[in-house]
């Protein structure tokens, strides 16, 4: 089984996240980079598929030089090898362009199943897995909290507003996972040591057959017009309970016509 | 005036509130044209008429709802090609965002997701990084495809009589690749949908265990609110995961958000910071949630919350 897991490095949500004033893109230098949280679940799911069905797990990352930290962590968790798509031409690409770039790389690596986290914590578009399925022309098995593979057939539970859908398809397929899918493992010391020797292939736009005129900020289908810090919320009223706290809250709610 | 396509969101045949928000928004931007996919339009038509749909495209074929996302995308792509709408609006739910993404690929269009408003020229407003930054973005290629956050737009009725047009699409084999073999509806009870509720009451780590969530539910019921939970509470298994509010859970934007026993880590704030009025009950005066509140009560939730519930019930 050829399993590819897409991993995005994002700014740590615990540190201040900023946009750059010149080109209005994410300031990746302003915060520590970490693996997007849901991608850890994707890595775990990829490893479990490998453990159950054999094969190889390839980590695919598009991102700047320093995304190698995230790649190493994914390898330390147990992935076998990695492809790092890194090129200045890609800077500022939107989801539409990113899905195109990843499609081109997946055309080189081939795949039986592509696993992604359902959403990133920075852009939060939640679109990339579906866009990839569209571009690759394979079944979209997204928002899955349970994944079962049997031979060439794959079944997932897809979370919906009302509960879940049971969805069936044949491989190859694109899968996205949510945080209830599994419990990501921690890299072991042995895993961390082994990761240093695992192959990481670095690709530029030309190597991957990506048309540079279709990626990057200048060619994006969307444009950030402006941005500003949200006006701070006015300091509210803070009251300490003296036995009638519930009444005080009710008074406030009544003053706002909620009661 | 160009048509603005609005993909209708419905559950159990009932039009969801977010669709009424989208119709309200669409009327500001052009002529609202609803797109109904699947059987059951007859039961929903009055609602769409009440909120000002000038037109409804009805694609009644049940097959369109038997596969994941792709059939809706093919239908919308066909409508985009035939009707040249000014924009396509969908709700920014998990599925809505996926539809928006695929439609953008299919039509070579720019896409904006999770916007909280759209103004002239289809400029979308985003609230990003957990509400810390407000940004505006526009589409510069193709037909703007815009996923709008539920509860961000105030609904306004504008009763009319929409023109109806039956539409159909010949699905590609690729659109039929992921088959929905069973739809499992989980018991929701009488409470409103979390992302659509006007009031949300959430419990966190301070609640302590699953049993104590009854306190949160009682408070929510006194207000006619939806129940939410922080990640600490859902991770601990005290409350089902689908009710998680936060960065990796649901994003809510109600009129009133009541956080009970929730410290307010960024993980949680990202999911509720655009709520209009925020109230918190927490025993730690240093809890970051108090930075956000309109009204904060420092106290023991086990004393305060039941007293509050009782007081609200008394005043009804």
pLDDT in tens, B248-277: 889 899 999 999 999 999 889 989 988 999
Q: Does A213 map to a domain?
A: yes
Q: Fold for domain B199-315?
A: Rossmann fold (3.40.50)
Q: What is the pLDDT of residues B83-128, one digit of tens each?
A: 999 999 999 999 999 999 999 999 999 999 999 999 999 999 998 8
A30: pLDDT strictly greater than 80: no
Distance (Å) of CA A241 to CA A248, A250, B258, B313: 9, 13, 16, 20
Q: How confident is the model at residue A32 (pLDDT cuts 50, 70, 90)?
A: confident
Q: Which residues of A touch B255 (CB under 8 A)?
A: 258
State the DSSP H helix or E strand holding residue B164, giving kind and residue range, or none if neither.
strand B163-166
What pLDDT is stored for residue A169 in this prediction?
Answer: 98
For residue A2 the two structure tokens come to 């050829």
Q: What is the DSSP letter of B285?
A: T
Domain boundaries of chain B, sorted by first residue? 3-170, 199-315
- Asked whether the beta carbons of residue B133 and residue A253 sit closer than 8 angstroms, the reply is no
- Asked whether the beta carbons of residue B266 and residue A130 sit closer than 8 angstroms, the reply is no
Q: Fold for domain B3-170?
A: Rossmann fold (3.40.50)
Q: Does A237 map to a domain?
A: no
Q: Does A243 map to a domain?
A: no
What pLDDT is stored for residue A147 in this prediction?
Answer: 97
State how far residue A194 is from chain B, nearest Cα, in angstroms.
Answer: 31
Q: Does A250 map to a domain?
A: no
- pTM of the entire predicted model: 0.92
* CA-angle at B314, arms to B311 and B316, nearest 5°: 115
* CA-angle at B129, arms to A75 and B248, nearest 5°: 55
Q: Does A27 map to a domain?
A: yes
Q: Which residues of B touch A126 (CB under 8 A)?
A: 94, 97-98, 101, 113-114
Query: In which domain, by residue range, is A161 found?
Result: 2-219
For residue A4 the two structure tokens come to 């590819």
The alpha-carbon radius of gyration of chain A (Å, integer) is 21
Cβ-Cβ pairs closer than 8 A, A with B, add up to: 282
**Number of domains chain A contains:** 1
Q: What is the pLDDT of residues B154-175, one digit of tens each?
A: 999 999 999 999 999 999 999 9
Say which CATH number the domain at A144 has. 3.40.50.620
What's chain B's average pLDDT? 95
State how far residue B224 is from chain A, nearest Cα, in angstroms.
Answer: 10
Q: Does A62 map to a domain?
A: yes
Q: What is the mean pLDDT of residues A144-164?
A: 93
Taking the CA atoms of A36, A37, A42 and A43 in sequence, report the sign of the dihedral they define.
positive
Q: Does A72 map to a domain?
A: yes
Q: What is the DSSP letter of B9?
A: P
Q: Which residues of B touch A119 (CB under 8 A)?
A: 248
Q: What is the ipTM of this complex?
A: 0.93
Contact with chain A for residue B179, Cβ under 8 A: yes
B311: pLDDT strictly greater than 90: yes
Q: What is the mean pLDDT of residues B13-19?
A: 94
Q: Which residues of A touch B195 (CB under 8 A)?
A: 161
Q: What is the mean pLDDT of residues A81-99?
A: 96
Q: How confident is the model at residue B188 (pLDDT cuts 50, 70, 90)?
A: low
What pLDDT is stored for residue A23 in this prediction?
Answer: 86
> Can B3-170 and B199-315 be said to share one CATH topology?
yes
For residue A73 the two structure tokens come to 């962590």
- Asked whether the beta carbons of residue B296 and residue A254 sit closer than 8 angstroms, the reply is no
Q: Is B278 helix (H, G, I), strand (E, B) or coil?
A: strand
Q: Does A234 map to a domain?
A: no
The response to whether B312 counts as a known ligand-binding position is: no
């Amino acid at each position: 089984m050829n399993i590819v897991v897409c991993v995005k490095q994002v700014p740590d949500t615990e540190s201040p996240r900023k946009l750059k004033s010149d080109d209005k893109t994410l300031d990746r230098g302003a915060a520590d980079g970490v693996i997007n949280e849901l991608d850890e679940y994707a890595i775990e799911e990829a490893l479990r598929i490998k453990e159950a069905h054999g094969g190889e797990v390839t980590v695919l990352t598009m991102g700047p030089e320093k995304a190698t930290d995230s790649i190493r962590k994914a390898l330390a968790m147990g992935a076998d090898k990695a492809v790092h798509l890194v090129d200045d031409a890609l800077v500022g690409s939107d989801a539409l362009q990113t899905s195109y770039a990843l499609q081109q790389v997946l055309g080189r690596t081939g795949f039986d199943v592509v696993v992604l986290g359902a959403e990133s914590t920075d852009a939060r578009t939640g679109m990339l897995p579906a866009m990839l399925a569209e571009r690759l022309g394979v079944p979209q098995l997204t928002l899955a909290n349970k994944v079962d593979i049997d031979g060439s057939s794959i079944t997932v539970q897809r979370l919906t507003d009302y509960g879940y859908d049971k969805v069936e398809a044949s491989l190859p397929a694109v899968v996205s996972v949510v945080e209830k899918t599994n419990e990501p493992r921690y890299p072991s010391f042995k895993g961390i040591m082994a990761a240093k020797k695992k192959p990481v292939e670095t690709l530029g736009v030309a190597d991957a057959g990506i048309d540079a005129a279709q990626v990057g900020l200048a060619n994006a289908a969307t444009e950030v017009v402006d941005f500003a810090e949200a006006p701070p919320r006015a300091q509210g009223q803070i009251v300490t309970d003296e036995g009638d706290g519930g009444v005080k809250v009710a008074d406030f709610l009544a003053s706002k016509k909620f009661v | 005036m160009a048509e603005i396509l609005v993909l209708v969101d419905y559950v159990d045949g009932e039009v969801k509130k977010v669709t009424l928000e989208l119709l309200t928004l669409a009327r500001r931007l052009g002529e609202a044209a609803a797109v109904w996919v699947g059987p059951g339009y007859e039961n929903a038509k009055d609602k769409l008429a009440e909120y000002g749909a000038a037109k409804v495209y009805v694609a009644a074929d049940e097959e369109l709802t038997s596969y994941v996302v792709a059939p809706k995308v093919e239908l919308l792509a066909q409508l985009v090609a035939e009707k040249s709408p000014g924009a396509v609006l969908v709700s920014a739910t998990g599925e809505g965002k996926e539809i928006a993404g695929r439609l953008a690929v299919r039509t070579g269009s720019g896409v904006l997701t999770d916007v909280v408003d759209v103004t002239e020229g289809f400029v979308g407003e985003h609230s990003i990084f957990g509400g810390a930054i407000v940004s505006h973005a526009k589409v510069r290629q193709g037909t703007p495809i815009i996923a709008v956050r539920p509860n961000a737009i105030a609904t306004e009725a504008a009763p009319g009589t929409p023109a109806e047009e039956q539409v159909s699409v010949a699905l590609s084999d690729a659109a039929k690749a992921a088959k929905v073999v069973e739809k499992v509806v989980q018991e929701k009870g009488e409470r409103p949908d979390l992302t659509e509720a006007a009031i949300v009451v959430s419990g966190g780590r301070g609640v302590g265990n699953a049993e104590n969530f009854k306190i949160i539910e009682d408070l929510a019921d006194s207000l006619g609110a939806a129940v939410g939970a922080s990640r600490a509470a859902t991770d601990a298994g005290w409350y089902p995961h689908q009710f998680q509010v936060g960065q990796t859970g649901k994003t809510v934007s109600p009129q009133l958000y009541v956080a009970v026993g929730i410290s307010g880590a960024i993980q949680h704030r990202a999911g509720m910071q655009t709520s209009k009025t925020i109230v918190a009950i927490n025993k730690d005066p240093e809890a970051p949630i108090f930075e956000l509140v309109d009204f904060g009560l420092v106290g023991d939730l086990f004393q305060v919350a039941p007293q509050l519930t009782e007081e609200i019930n008394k005043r009804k």
